[in-house]
Amino acid sequence: MPKIKLSQRTIEIVKEICLSFENNEGELINVLHEAQHKLGYLPAEVQELIAHELNMSIAKVYGVVTFYSFFNMLPQGEFPISVCMGTACYVRGAEQILHEIKRQLNIEVGQSTPDGKFSLNCLRCVGACGLAPVVMVGEKVYGRVAPQQIRKIIAEYQEGCVRPEKHEM
């Protein structure tokens, strides 16, 4: 994993988040959530810092980050695409959807496109089983998606979209 040096601002943000949870080890999941929300992803250096602030081992923090699929260790694309892999979605063809997205963007799960536009992740059940199979792009939910629609969905974001504001590390 390439080493990055966290900016002073990032360090402050992470420390503030930890402090807002009273540096309590039991709040790790909430701390990670908040950090990912603010920073976009959780690189190793951020996990190390959180471990230090909460006075717990880095291995444990990493264990939690890798246990839950909604945490990302790699920078997300401008438009993070998530495919729900919950039972309902799976049964209704989520795997074909995933395959199609991988094919079109030419990336694997967990990666982003070289231009930084899209990244791809799987999710456990998002609770929209009635709409299965479900794909999310950023916060936007697409229900009853068929593989043939993927090209159109991706095209929506290819150009002319406002860049969402994201903090720089």
Partner 1 sequence: MDMINLTIDNRPVSVKRGTSVLHAAAQVGIKIPSLCYMKLEDLNIENKPGGCRVCVVEVEGRRNLAPACCTDVAEGMVIQTHSMRAIHARRTVVELILSDHPTDCLKCAKAGNCDLQSMAQHLGIREIHYEGEQSTFREDTSPAIIRELDKCIRCRRCEMMCNEIQSVGALSAINRGFNAVISPAFEMNLDHSVCTYCGQCVAVCPTGALTEVDHTGAVIRALSDPSKTVIVQTAPAVRAALGEEFGDEPGTLVTGKMAAALRRLGFNYVFDTDFAADLTILEEGTELLNRLTAFLGGDKNVKLPMLTSCCPAWVKFFEHQFPDLKDIPSSARSPQQMFGSIAKTYFADKIGVNRKDLVVVSIMPCVAKKYECSREEFSVNGNPDVDFALTTRELAQLINLANIDFKSLPDEDFDHPMGESTGAGVIFGTTGGVIEAAVRTAYEVFTGKKLDRLDYTELRGMEGLRHATIDFNGLPIHIGIAHGLGNARKLLEDIQQGKSHFHAIEIMSCPGGCIGGGGQPYHHGDAEILKKRQMALYREDSGKPIRKSHENPYITKLYEEFLGAPMSEKAHHLLHTEYFDRSKS
By CB under 8 A, name the binding residues for partner 1.
Answer: 1, 44, 47-48, 56-63, 66-67
Q: Which is nearer to partner 1, 61 or 131 (CB)?
A: 61
Q: Which is nearer to partner 1, 67 or 148 (CB)?
A: 67
**Least separation, in Å, of the C-beta of 64 and partner 1?**
8
Tell me how far, at minimum, the Cβ of 89 lies from partner 1, in Å.
17
Joined together, the tokens standing for residue 108 give: 């694997």
Q: How far is the CB of 128 from partner 1 (least distance, A)?
A: 22
**Bridge pairing between strands 135-137 and 140-142:** antiparallel
**Of residues 121, 137, 118, the one with CA closest to residue 78:** 118
Structural contact between residues 64 and 32, judged by C-beta atoms closer than 8 angstroms = yes
Q: Which is nearer to partner 1, 67 or 165 (CB)?
A: 67
Contact criterion met (CB below 8 Å) for 72 and 35: no
